[in-house]
Amino acid sequence: MNHFLKINVVSIIYALMILVPVELMVNTYRLTRLSGWDMDFVENVSGVMSGMVLIMGTVILYFLNKKWMEGRNTAYWTAVLWLPYFVLFSYVISTSFPTNYGGDAPNPASGLVMIGVLVSYPFYVLVLNFLSLNTEEEEINVD
């Protein structure tokens, strides 16, 4: 698999990793209405799922970056390339599942939280890339 394709696959995974928590946060009211569950339960399940996606995605991307990127500095492009995929996936979801019921509209506070998350996410990607590309396995010297 060539390097260009590897960078794009990693960028897609980064985009999906932030898309799932954002969509769960924005669609809390819709999930409550459609599932019939209590609002607290939906928020708790969304929080747990967001945490699981963050932890599992971090571990998977750490090892994937280490294996596929092989210490190349071009891997840092993923800090920018996740954004077009995130916008594309968000657009597909919003056009496939439009908000027809006014009660499903998210509150303004979730928009502020989403802005904060999206602004800080490139730094998370850069730190994860830095850690996965700059860690070298040390050899044990036996004398």
On whether residue 143 sits in a domain, the answer given is: no
On whether residue 60 sits in a domain, the answer given is: yes
On whether residue 142 sits in a domain, the answer given is: no
For 2, phi then psi, to 5°, come to -75, 165
Residue 10 CB partners (closer than 8 Å, separation 6+): 61, 64, 65, 68, 69, 75, 78
Query: How many structural domains is the chain composed of?
Result: 1
Which residue, 96, 122, 107, is CA-closest to 18?
A: 122
Neighbouring C-alpha atoms within 13 Å toward the C-beta of 143: 0
Tokens at 20, concatenated: 């799932």
In degrees, to the nearest 5, what angle opens at C-alpha 46 toward C-alphas 85 and 82? 15
On whether residue 72 sits in a domain, the answer given is: yes
Which residue, 103, 117, 112, 111, is CA-closest to 31?
A: 103
On whether residue 139 sits in a domain, the answer given is: no
Residue numbers of the domain that contains 71: 3-134
For 62, phi then psi, to 5°, come to -60, -50
Cα–chain center distance at 28:
18
pLDDT at 103: 84
What is the residue-level pLDDT of the chain in tens, covering all 143 positions? 688 899 999 999 999 999 999 999 999 999 999 899 999 999 999 999 999 999 999 999 999 988 888 777 888 888 899 999 999 999 999 999 888 888 888 888 888 999 999 999 999 999 998 998 876 554 455 55
pLDDT at 142: 59
Residue 85 CB partners (closer than 8 Å, separation 6+): 11, 12, 14, 15, 16
pLDDT at 61: 92
